[in-house]
Amino acid sequence: MTEELFRADAYLRECTATVVASSADGIELERTVFYPEGGGQPGDRGMLRSTDGTTFAIVDTRKGEDGRLLHLPAADAALPTPGDEVTAIIDWDYRYRHMRTHTALHLMCALVPYPVTGGSISQDKGRLDFDMAEGVDKEALEAALNALVIADHPVGYRWITDAEMAANMALVRTMSVKPPMGQGRVRLVDVDGVDLQPCGGTHVACTGEIGHVRLGKVEKKGRQNRRINLHLD
């Protein structure tokens, strides 16, 4: 299995690695800084650079059905050879925006006390769907979000065992995304004093890095569902 360096440090922009497997369906590395699509967060893009300077564009990163982490090459592109040493380099601007949006959604989750039924993250906007019948006071929610940004809460990680996770399922806020159990331990994301929940995504180190946020439309998606859209400024 690929060592996932972004789990411990979301700020790593590159790493060296040996190519394990390589085909048009995806390139596998022994370790990587590329985040694979999951939990509403898009997969990373960027490039692999071989020791002779040849570069291979990576257009997306996915988990295969068997859990293998696949760096997807552009269509008809040349491929590195298994055994090659490469430097894996992510498109940092693209990833960092996902980190900011993703962390902003944790703040929203903390401020809207209803179960989350879905969500999505993109470059400069994100959304969460809540299992709630009433609307929200948009102005108050936007002000509360920006207050949490300005307070610059640190964001940290804690690991708990699968058994501890099973005994604390109330920590799970997103009904549509199961916590990644089965590997013996689960990572909790702790926005200090604000939000604590299992999450495998990438986050900024302090909420101040999110910057000012703006709420977009609050959409009614069925009788028991409200979709709240958020934009980075």
The residues binding Zn ion (CB under 5 A) are 189, 199, 201
Q: What are phi and psi of 91, to 5 degrees?
A: -75, 95
Cα 137 to Cα 218: distance, rounded to the nearest angstrom: 10
The least CB distance from residue 206 to Zn ion, in Å, is 15
The least CB distance from residue 173 to Zn ion, in Å, is 10
Taking Cα atoms as reference points, which of 214, 215, 26, 221 lies closest to residue 133? 221
Q: Which residues pair with 22 in a beta bridge?
A: 27
The least CB distance from residue 199 to Zn ion, in Å, is 3
Write down the residue that tokens 């989750």 correspond to: 109
Taking Cα atoms as reference points, which of 201, 16, 8, 223 lies closest to residue 101? 201
The least CB distance from residue 31 to Zn ion, in Å, is 22
Choose between 80 and 179: whose C-beta lies nearer to Zn ion.
179
Task: Give the CB-nearest residue to Zn ion.
Answer: 199
Choose between 112 and 189: whose C-beta lies nearer to Zn ion.
189
The least CB distance from residue 140 to Zn ion, in Å, is 24
Choose between 27 and 99: whose C-beta lies nearer to Zn ion.
99
Choose between 107 and 189: whose C-beta lies nearer to Zn ion.
189
Choose between 28 and 190: whose C-beta lies nearer to Zn ion.
190
What is the distance in angstroms between the CA of the first residue and the CA of the last residue of the chain?
Answer: 38
Cα 55 to Cα 78: distance, rounded to the nearest angstrom: 9
